[in-house]
Amino acid sequence: MGNALIVIDMQVDFCPGGALAVAGGDDLVAPINAMMRDYDAVILTQDWHPANHSSFADNHPGAAPFSLVEMPYGPQVLWPRHCVIGSGGADLVPGLDTSLADLVLRKGFCPEIDSYSAFFENDHSTATGLAGYLGERGLSHLTFVGLALDFCVAWSAIDAVKLGFGAAVVESACRAIDLDGSLEQARRNMCAAGVTIA
């Protein structure tokens, strides 16, 4: 039973000064670095969007950032443009110890669909390949940290449980956007799914 630390989207655009900043996001670098050596493996994820990504508000004329639209796969928040492939905003945040990472998984690179979860795109069926990687390495218990708690962290942890992994979220090593009550909803969803919130 191997243990993996899954570090979600610790990127420049999600930290203060970035295009989609999460308050206090950069405060997580030191505690996450300190956790890394306690695990058998460390996996980092990166949002990795093309410029024409359908989740960007400015690709929908007249649409406001943080508004909700219906996509073929369900409701989608329209975000400010962020983590564009090759941009400085897509970089992992300075100071994050990437030397201990076994894998960097990039997600959200298909223009027509967003990808909050580290395991699936937002259609809940198109896999990223992470589950297979973890399974082949015998990594069965996963601990999630990073950004943002109420979106990519929560969706990843819930999907981990659905796929048969043990999943825990260390809330002190996460920060949330809290968009219209999304943080409390995410907590409820995680608890209902069987995610341990530490």
In the chain, where the domains are located: 2-50+84-197
Q: What is the mean pLDDT of residues 127-153?
A: 98
Q: What is the mean pLDDT of residues 131-138?
A: 98
CB 84 within 8 A of CB 50: yes
Whether domain 2-50+84-197 has CATH 3.30.1330.10: no
Question: If residue 156 lies in a helix (H) or strand (E), which one and from where to where?
Answer: helix 154-162
pLDDT digits (tens, 9 = 90+) for 93-125: 999 999 999 999 999 999 999 999 999 999 999
Distance separating alpha carbons of residues 83 and 65, to the nearest angstrom: 15
Active site residue 9: yes
Distance separating alpha carbons of residues 48 and 109, to the nearest angstrom: 5
Give the active site residue among 107, 150, 159, 174. Answer: 107
Give the active site residue among 9, 13, 26, 159. Answer: 9
pLDDT digits (tens, 9 = 90+) for 28-64: 999 999 999 999 999 999 999 999 999 999 999 999 9
Distance separating alpha carbons of residues 12 and 121, to the nearest angstrom: 22
- pTM of the shown model: 0.96
Q: What is the mean pLDDT of the chain?
A: 97
Give the active site residue among 15, 47, 114, 152. Answer: 152
| Closest listed residue to residue 5, CA positions, set 110, 96, 83 | 96
| Closest listed residue to residue 167, CA positions, set 129, 196, 138 | 196
Distance separating alpha carbons of residues 155 and 30, to the nearest angstrom: 24
* 81 DSSP 8-state letter: S
Q: CA 159, 112, 66: angle at the middle one, nearest 5?
A: 75
For residue 136, the model assigns a pLDDT of: 97
For residue 192, the model assigns a pLDDT of: 98
- Position 142 pLDDT exceeds 80: yes
Active site residue 162: no
Q: Directed axis angle between helix 154-162 and helix 182-193, to 10°?
A: 20
For residue 169, the model assigns a pLDDT of: 98
- Position 1 pLDDT exceeds 80: no
pLDDT digits (tens, 9 = 90+) for 146-172: 999 999 999 999 999 999 999 999 999
Confidence class for position 73, pLDDT limits 50, 70, 90: very high
For residue 125, the model assigns a pLDDT of: 93
Distance separating alpha carbons of residues 16 and 4, to the nearest angstrom: 27
Active site residue 152: yes
